[in-house]
Structures are given as structure tokens and as C-alpha cells.
Amino acid sequence: MPERYPRRRPSAIIWRTVRSVTARYSAASLIVMYRRDNGGASAMPGLSVS
């Protein structure tokens, strides 16, 4: 049975961008929570969240 939609959809690019942005945001929030639990930015002085 042939596929109704092509394998390479434009939405795949959008989802890839959304996933990468979400991964960066979740990683940044995890780092912020980790630093907050360990006494603020002084716990990890070399790390800066951009």
C-alpha cells in the first residue's frame, strides 16, 4: 500500500527545530535548578547560561 504523504515533509524541519530549541531550553533550566540547589552561581563559577 503506497504512502499517502511523501517521506520528507516540510513539517519535519519544523519539528526538528522545535526539538532542538526545547532541548536547549530544558538543559538550561536544569543547569539553573542545579546551580540554585547548590548555593547559587558560586557553586559552578565557570558555567554561564546564555
Residue 12: per-residue pLDDT: 85
- Enumerate residues 6+ apart whose C-beta is below 8 A from 38: 44
pTM strictly above 0.75 = no
Three-class DSSP labels, 18-33: HHHHHHHHHHHHHHHH
Residue 50: per-residue pLDDT: 46
Residue 17: per-residue pLDDT: 93
Per-residue pLDDT of the chain (50 residues; tens, 9 = 90+): 566 666 667 788 889 999 999 999 999 888 888 777 766 555 555 555 54
